Structure 1
Amino acid sequence: MDLQNFDIDQFLREYWQKKPLLIRNAFRDWQNPLEPDELAGLACEEEIESRLICQTESGWEMEQGPLAEERLSGLHESHWTLLVQAVDHHVPAVADLIAPFRFIPNWRIDDVMVSLAADQGGVGPHFDQYDVFLIQGLGRRRWQIGGHCDADTLLLPHEDLKLLAEFEATEEWVLEPGDMLYVPPGIAHNGVAVGSDCMTYSVGFRAPSRADLLGHYVDDVLDGIPDDELYRDPDLKAQANAGEILPEALAGLQQMVLESLSDPAHFARWFGTFNSTPKYPDMDWRPEVPVTPEELRAAITAQLPLSRNPASRLAFIATGADALMLFADGVCFDCIGETAALAKALCADDRLSLDVEVAGNAAAIDLLTQLSNNGCIAFDSGD
C-alpha cells in the first residue's frame, strides 16, 4: 500500500515533531484491512491488549480486556470506543500499513493500534508523548487539534485516563476512509466518530525517555562493575576544615561515574538489545517443532519466500566495513561478511527471497536457524 499526495522530504523538514498535517486521500486504492467484527474478536483474546472506553452521563469509564462477547454485543448505539493494541502483530494486512512509513527508522516503530467507535464515540481530549499517523479506515471521524501540552498541563481527575481538563480546538476536520492525520508529540487532539462503524488505524512511533535510558543503562553497567572498584585518593593532603568536600574530591567521584557510562561500544550493544526487546515479551512465537539447518537449506534451495514476524523487532548497528551487530527481540548476534549482508536484508524487508548461495554458508544458516527457532522469521511452507 503506497502513500500519495505526500512528500517525504517536505514532511520531515516541515512537520515531523513540529506540527500536525492532514493528508486527504493518502493511499492509492485504499481498502480497509480489517472488519469491525474481526477487531471485536481480537478484543476477546486473553493475550491481546484491549480497552473499552465509554462516555456516560457520570463521565468517562474504561474497561480493560479481554472483553466478553456478550459485553460487546450489548453495547449502546453511541458514545463508546474499542481500542486494540498491536493488531499488526496478529493481522498481516494491518502489518502492511507500516511499510509506507519505512522512511522513519524501524527502531522508532511501536505498533498499529486499531479503534472501533460507535456514533459519537471517542477517548476524550488528550495528548500523547509519541508521534502518530491516524489513518481513517472505515466510516468518518471528526478530529480537532489544540495547542501544545506538557507535564504541567492540567488533567481531569481519573484513575485510568489522562484527559485534558481544558481543550480549545484550533483546527478541525472530518476524515473519510483513506484520509490520514499526523499528530506530533505533545499536541492536544480529540477524535469523535461521525456515525457508526468508525475504524481508525493509529501507526505509533516510540521514543525512549531520558529516565528510561539512564535507568536501564545504569542497571546494565552496574552488573559489570566489580565490588572492589572503590574511590582512591593517594595524594590526599590535610585540609583546613575536615567537614568540607573539596572540589577535587567531587571531580574524582564524578569522573568515576562518567567513566563507567562513557563506553560507546558498550552503550551501542546495550541499546540495541534494550530497544529490540519485544513489546509483549511473554508472547511465545517459537515454532512448536524446532527448525533444523537442513530444513532451512531446503527452503532456500526451493526459493521459498522468507517472512519476518510482524511482532519481532529487528535492527542492526554497524561495527565495521563488513561487520555489524544484529539485534532481534532482545538478542544480539555479531555478524561479519556475507552474514552481515544477510542481517541487513532481514532488517530492510518484511518479506524476501534469499540467494541459493546462502544455503552453503554455515554462519548464515546458523543465524537463520537461531532466528527461526526464536520465532523472529519463518519460511513459507510452499503448500
Structure 2
Amino acid sequence: MYKLTISLDEFLRNYWQKKPTIIKGGFAEFQDPITPEELAGLTMEEVVDSRFVSNLENNWQAEHGPFDDDKFASLPESHWSFIVQAANHWHDGAAQLVKPFQTMPQWLFDDLMISYSVEGGGVGPHIDQYDVFIIQGMGKRHWRVGAKDVGQYKETQRHEALRQIESFEAEIDEILEPGDILYIPPGFPHDGYALEPSMSYSVGFRSPKEQELISNFADYILAHDYGDEHLHKPDLRTQDNFGKISTSDLDSLVSMLKAKLDDEDTIKDFMGCMLSQSRHQLNIIEPSSKWSCEDVYQHLESGSDIFKVAGLRTLSHETEPNIVYVNGEMFKIPEELTSFAELLTNQDTICLENSGESIIQNSAAISLITELVNKGYWFAE
C-alpha cells in the first residue's frame, strides 16, 4: 500500500493552485506498480487511450495507439516515450497509486497517466489547465517549471498532435528520483525529459470549465424535456420602434433562462450526473448472464466480495446522502440505508465485512446491488 510522507491538508493550504513545488521522497521506498512491459501491453489494447511521442534530433512525432509488435521492434535507443491515459482503469496495481489521494474530492480526480521514457524522451515544453502530481518511478527525470502563464508564452506547433510552447525561464530546475513528487498547478509552463529509462505517474485533477457547465446543462435540460414552453405575455403593448427589445421583454426572457438555474433540485441532479461521469473510457462489462437478487445475496452471504469498476465515480451531495450518482445515473436509496449509500460512494468493495448483516438482509439494498452488477458498474471475480 502506498502512503504519502506529507500531510495533504497542509499541502492544500500551502500549495494547491498557488505554486508548484517538489516533494522529495513524497513516497518512501517507492516501488513501481507496473513494469514497462506491462505498460507496453496496455498500449496494444484498442480500448486504452495511448500515445507514442518521439523527438529524435528535434524531429517531433506523435501517434495514437493501439500499437503492435512491429512498433516496439523498430524503436531507436533514445528520445521517445509511451504514454497511457487512465491507466488506473486498466491495471489494478496502478490503481493503488491513486488511493493516497482519496481524501480529496472524487469529482475533481481525472485519471492516472503513466509515461515510460528512454533517455531524452518527453513531450516538450507545454502548459496544462489542471492540477497534477507527477510521481517519479524508476530512473531519473529532469524537470523545469516556469512562472504562471500570463499570456507571455508563445505556442508553437512542432507536430499537429502536440500543443507546445517555445521556451520559458525556469523557476524550478531539478532532477526527480524514485518517490519524488512534482506538483504543478494549472497555467504553469513545464518540461520534463528522461535522463535514463524511467517511469512517471501523473495523478491529475481537473474541474469543469464554465463552457462545459453551460453546454452540459443545456444537454441535460433537453434530455429531460424541461422548459418546453414559449414566453407568454398577454399584456403586450405596441411600441414606436419596431426593432427595439424592451427592457420588460428582456427581463421576461432572462427570467425564463434563469428559471431552471434557480431550481435547486434540478441543479443538484444535473451536477451529480455530470460530475459522476468519467472523461475516460471505463472497463464496464455487463455480465454474460444476468444476476438475480438471490445470486447476489448468496454471493455476499458466503463471504465473497463484489468490486467497483476501477475509475467509476460514485457521488452524493452533502445535503442528500441517499441520492447516489453513478456514471451519470441517479439512484435513490431509502433513508434507513444511509450507511449503504455511504458505502457505495466511499468504498471500492461491497462485502459482508464492511456492509454487515443488516444490509445483506435488506431486499432494497440487494435489489440495487443486483442492478449495479447487471449494469457492469460492480463485478464479482
The TM-score with structure 2 as length reference comes to 0.93
Contact 1:269 1:325 in 2 (8 A): no
**Map of 1:377 onto structure 2:** 378
Q: Distance in 1 between the 2:349 and 2:317 partners?
A: 21
**SS class of match (2:165):** coil
Q: Distance in 2 between the 1:263 and 1:338 partners?
A: 27
Q: Distance in 2 between the 1:339 and 1:64 partners?
A: 45
Contact 1:300 1:358 in 2 (8 A): no
> Is it true that 1:93 corresponds to 2:93 in the alignment?
yes
- Which residue, 304, 321, 324 being the options, matches 2:322? 324
Count of residues in Structure 1 that have an aligned counterpart in Structure 2: 376
Contact 1:145 1:187 in 2 (8 A): yes
Q: Distance in 2 between the 1:238 and 1:358 partners?
A: 66
Matches within 5 A, 1:164-179: 164-179=165-180
**SS class of match (2:366):** helix
Q: Distance in 1 between the 2:258 and 2:57 partners?
A: 55
The letter of the residue matching 2:78 is S
**Map of 2:124 onto structure 1:** 124
Q: Return closer, same or farther for 1:168/1:102 CA change in 2, 3 Å cut-off.
A: same
Contact 1:53 1:61 in 2 (8 A): yes
**SS class of match (2:156):** coil
Shift of 1:234: 2.6
Matches within 5 A, 1:1-383: 1-57=1-57, 59-149=59-149, 153-157=153-157, 158-196=159-197, 198-223=198-223, 224-225=225-226, 227=228, 229-281=229-281, 284-318=284-318, 320=320, 324-351=322-349, 353=351, 354-380=355-381
Uncovered stretches (5+) of structure 1, i.e. residues with no partner: none
Uncovered stretches (5+) of structure 2, i.e. residues with no partner: none
Q: Distance in 2 between the 1:378 and 1:339 partners?
A: 21
Shift of 1:152: 7.3
Shift of 1:110: 1.1
Q: Distance in 1 between the 2:129 and 2:150 partners?
A: 9
The letter of the residue matching 2:123 is V
Contact 1:16 1:184 in 2 (8 A): yes
Q: Distance in 1 between the 2:227 and 2:72 partners?
A: 55
Q: Distance in 2 between the 1:327 and 1:218 partners?
A: 19
Q: Distance in 2 between the 1:151 and 1:255 partners?
A: 37
CA RMSD of aligned residues (A): 2.0
Contact 1:273 1:329 in 2 (8 A): yes
Shift of 1:181: 1.0
Bigger CA drift: 181-190 or 149-158? 149-158
Q: Distance in 1 between the 2:171 and 2:319 partners?
A: 47
Shift of 1:348: 1.0
**SS class of match (1:181):** strand
Deviations 1:165-202 (A, max 9, x none): 22221211111111111111111111110112x10011
**SS class of match (1:138):** coil
Q: Distance in 2 between the 1:356 and 1:379 partners?
A: 19
The letter of the residue matching 1:37 is E
Q: Distance in 2 between the 1:182 and 1:238 partners?
A: 62
Shift of 1:308: 1.6
Q: Return closer, same or farther for 1:4/1:141 CA change in 2, 3 Å cut-off.
A: same
**SS class of match (1:124):** coil
Shift of 1:15: 0.6
Shift of 1:2: 4.0
Q: Distance in 1 between the 2:218 and 2:232 partners?
A: 22
The letter of the residue matching 1:43 is T
The letter of the residue matching 2:160 is E
Q: Distance in 2 between the 1:56 and 1:370 partners?
A: 51
Bigger CA drift: 159-168 or 370-379? 370-379
Q: Distance in 1 between the 2:32 and 2:302 partners?
A: 34
